[in-house]
Each structure stands twice: as C-alpha cells, then as structure tokens.
Copies of this chain bind each other. A is one copy, B any other.
Amino acid sequence: MDFLTELKARAALVDRALDELLPSEDTYPPVIHQAIRYSLFAGGKRLRPVLALAAAETVGGDPARVLPAACALELIHTYSLIHDDLPAMDNDDFRRGKPTCHRVYGEAVAILAGDALLTHAFALLAKNAQNQLAPAERVVHVIEEVAEAAGTLGLIGGQVVDTLAADTAVDAATLEYIHRHKTGALYRVAVRAGAILAGAGEDQLEALTVYAENLGLAFQIQDDILDVEGDPARLGKPVGSDERNKKATYPALFGLDVARAKAGEAVAAALAALEPFDERADFLRELVRFVITRDF
C-alpha cells in the first residue's frame, strides 16, 4: 500500500470513530449537533488523530485502543478553527472550499459549537479509561497534557499572539512562538498522548516529542510555502492570503529557498529522533517526508 492510501485508510478509521462518538444530528437541541458535524466532517486530513494512533503503534501499543483520545485531538483542532474563523478573529467566510460555521449557522451557534467541541474532547479523553482501554493514571496524565497544550501556554497563547500581531511586522522569534504554540503544541501532544496511553517509556516519549516538534515545524513551513506557490485547485482554497493579510510566514521572513531548507532540516531531525524505533515507526517516517512533499 502506498503512503497516501495508508494515510487515507487511517483517516477513514478516525472518521468512523468520530461519527460513532459524537451525538447524532437529531439529538436535542439539533442545531448545535448539526453545526458540530458540519465543521467536523468538512474534509480535514485528520493528521492529529493519525499521529496519536501511529505513536501508539510505534511503542508497541494497539492503535485501536487510543481511538477516543485520538478523536479528542481532532475535536480540539476543529473547535480552534471555528473560533479562529469568527468575525471578531480572522473573519473568514470559507474554509476548505465550504462556508465557515458562522456563515451557515450564525455567530452565536458557531461560538457554542466551538465550546461544545472543546468540552466533548475532554469527555472522549476520559472515555479512554473505560473498558480498560488504558489505566486511569495514564488517562489523567494525558488529560493534563492536552489541557496544557490547548491552553494559554499552548494553542490559545499562540492564537492570542497571532491575533495581536495581525497587520504588524513580526520578527523571527515571534513567528516561531506563534507556530510552536498555535499549531505545534497540538501535534506534539497528539504524539505524546498516543505514546503515553500505550505505555511508552521515558526515553521513547522524549524521542517521539523531538519527532513531533520537528514535524510540526516542517508542516507549518510547508503550509506557508504552499500559500505562496501552491495550486488553489489542489489546496481547495485561494493562495496568497498570507501576503494579503500581511501574515508573518517563513517565506516572507526568510525567502522561499531558506524556508525550504529549514523544512528539510526539520524533517531530518524528526527522522533522526525515530532511529531507536523499529519498523513500527515506518508510518511516522513516511508521514514526516510526506509533510514537505505534499501539494495540498
């Protein structure tokens, strides 16, 4: 099976689990459950849950046993996108080629749908202790790490700095802060959550954390590059929006060549971190190579 087929198979597994674990559209009050599913099933790559599954596999665990926690990470990602798109934030009308949540359901329901996804994420994390999927101690540890990664010292902190930096010149240190927190923190905790739940040792966890941090960096740089030279048809969104919005990006700060070199270095560092692992880490290896070769 080639890597993209394998990635899609794992994403489909996540999609099925999300569908099973979320209230149906006709659950009262229906509008909120419709809004949640509208945004959640709008065509994401499911990279964060797939990372959690692959990290569990890498340390010898059963990926199926960390599915609820993996899904929780996708809920947190989706909540952050819904709130990010709101008029008071980035004021985006479209995401992945579809009208954003607040354009379809109104601002009030979009705010609440984001709140609900964030809340439900922690319900799913807690569920990972049911049916003996994982010992309660590990589940509590993961919940604490996820809350920190999603909080003001992680995702939200990055979002705050990004929002305040809009329309101002941003230096390399601020750009790095934004990326490390706004997107990096969730990749990092996705890998750590899968590994912790599967019983990783300290050394394994440390190596996987280095992998995840470099993967997140490579991913972000490639995102910035695609916004400069990507194909809108492949990406499902217009390009050039970063420049129009005067967003700080790696190509804008360093030029395309240096940005590409930095992405390459991050991939090399991620692969080096995986050296202690056997072939069960092959999916993670292919994933980080994919991140800088993808055109979508």
Residues of A with Cβ closer than 8 Å to B? 23, 27-29, 31-33, 36, 79, 83, 86, 88-89, 106-109, 111-112, 114-116, 118-120, 122-123, 125-127, 129, 135-137, 139-141, 143-144, 146-148, 150-153, 156-157, 159-161, 163-164
A29's contact among B28, B111, B129, B160, by CB below 8 Å, is which?
Answer: B160
Instruction: Kindly report how many copies of this chain are found in the complex they form together.
Output: 2
Contacts of A32 in B (CB 8 A): 152, 156-157, 160
Q: Are B152 and A120 in contact (CB under 8 A)?
A: yes
Interface residues of A, dominant DSSP = helix
Nearest-neighbour CB distance to chain B for A191, whole angstroms, equals 19
In the complex, how many angstroms separate the beta carbon of A192 from the nearest chain B beta carbon? 14
Smallest CB gap from A115: residue in B: B156
A-B contact pairs, 17 of them (CB 8 A): A27-B153, A29-B157, A29-B164, A32-B157, A79-B115, A83-B115, A89-B111, A109-B160, A116-B151, A118-B119, A122-B122, A123-B144, A123-B147, A125-B143, A126-B147, A129-B140, A136-B140
